[in-house]
Amino acid sequence: MACLFGHKWNGCKCEKCGKTREHDWNGCKCSRCGRTRNENHIWEPVEGKCEKKCKVCGKVEDDPASHKWDGCKCSICGMVRDSEHKWNGCKCSVCGVTRDNEHIWGNWRQIEKGAGNYYARHSSHHIRKCVVCGSTETELHDWDYCKCKVCGFVDQSRSHDWKPVDGKCEEKCTVCGEIRKKLHDWKPVPNRCERKCIVCGETVENFTAHKWERVPDSCTMVKCSICGKKEERINHSFVSIGICRKKCTVCGRVEYDHDYKVVSANYDHESSNYKCKKCGHEARDNGWGTDTRQWGVVDS
């Protein structure tokens, strides 16, 4: 329906005929109908943020121009950019981002693999760690005989560089310092029952068997005719002096010399009766500590 007598405007639209009229823009907002547009905003900064806000419509947008950069990081909003990093080796000291080069490596060390035997616990590789970011890398050992030239790990199962130790029956590895024993080079010592190593000087007795001889007028001492060593040793020189008697011709000791045989036995009680085959002396062993057989020195 045509508005012959004039439009009845409600904002920018006639309530009668629906006709619209041109907006009365105040920046981004029509002052008559309140409609907004995404242009001609009237911006003002947002406090404490790198943003701007339209004071007419309230729209908020990032404001790159308001960043206050400390290297790679904005000191206002904390935003990080991928430039102007302050690198400490592989890590930015400002934002903490890392890169895959310029690591500050710690020392190489052997990789320990946990419990088990030697080969289960040790690896053929060593490892090092970046002291800044914690990244790790591994590589194979570089062996100098038994010792890795890089990390210093010693593998005793590998070949050593053995060299003799002066004045000792030993060999020492020039790489790791391990020492192992060598066989002695023994030579007999003249006029002594000993042997001596011509390398280290160690001596051992009884390399040559002693040649024992009786000490004159003694039945309890012998002497080696090679080295002169003396030992206590019972060495009587008995001769028979009658039935079942013998006497030492050196010290005069007299001992029994019976030749007993068993004439009866009670195996249940472990007792036996004996009789000497030479003189007929009878004796008994009751199995409980009483034995009447005659042994040793003759009672005077």
**Cα–Cα–Cα angle for 220, 221, 226, rounded to 5 degrees:** 155
Beta-carbon contacts of residue 117 (< 8 Å; ≥ 6 apart)? none
pLDDT at 122: 64
Phi (first) and psi of residue 203, to 5 degrees:
-120, 150
Residues facing 171 on adjacent strands: 164, 180
Other CB atoms within 10 A of residue 42 CB: 13
Q: What is the CA radius of gyration of the chain?
A: 57
108-147 exposure pattern, b = at least 16 Cβ within 10 A, e = fewer: bebbeeeeeeeeeebbeebbbbbebbeeeeeeebebebbb
Q: Can you give 136-189 as a three-state secondary structure string?
A: EEEEECCEECCEECCCCCECCCCCCCEEECCCCCEEEECCCCCEEECCCCEEEC
Where exactly are the structural domains of the chain?
Answer: 43-92, 103-179, 238-300
Beta-carbon contacts of residue 88 (< 8 Å; ≥ 6 apart)? 104, 132
pLDDT at 180: 93
Exposed (0-12), middle (13-18) or buried (19+): which is 5, by Cβ within 10 Å?
Answer: exposed
User: What element of type H or E holds 119?
Assistant: helix 118-121
pLDDT in tens, the chain (300 residues): 567 777 777 778 777 777 778 887 888 888 888 788 888 888 888 888 888 888 888 888 888 888 888 888 888 888 888 888 888 888 888 888 888 888 889 999 888 765 555 554 567 888 899 988 888 888 999 999 999 999 999 988 899 999 999 999 999 999 999 999 999 999 988 888 889 999 999 998 876 778 888 888 888 888 888 888 888 888 888 899 988 999 988 888 889 899 999 888 887 777 889 999 999 999 998 888 888 888 888 875
> Model-level pTM?
0.46
What does 175-229 look like in DSSP terms, one character per residue?
TT--EEE----EEEPTTSSEEEETTT--EEETSS---EEEPTT-SSEEEETTT--
Tokens standing for residue 269: 């009680």
Three-class SS state of 52: strand
- CA-wise closest residue to 27 among 51, 55, 53: 55
pLDDT at 116: 53
- CA-wise closest residue to 40 among 24, 27, 23, 55: 27
pLDDT at 113: 67
Cα separation of 102 and 92, whole Å? 11
Q: What is the DSSP letter of 118?
A: H
pLDDT at 300: 56
- CA-wise closest residue to 24 among 7, 15, 12: 12
Q: Decide: 26 and 56 in contact? Cβ < 8 Å.
A: yes
Q: What is the DSSP letter of 66?
A: G
pLDDT at 108: 92
Q: Decide: 246 and 255 in contact? Cβ < 8 Å.
A: yes
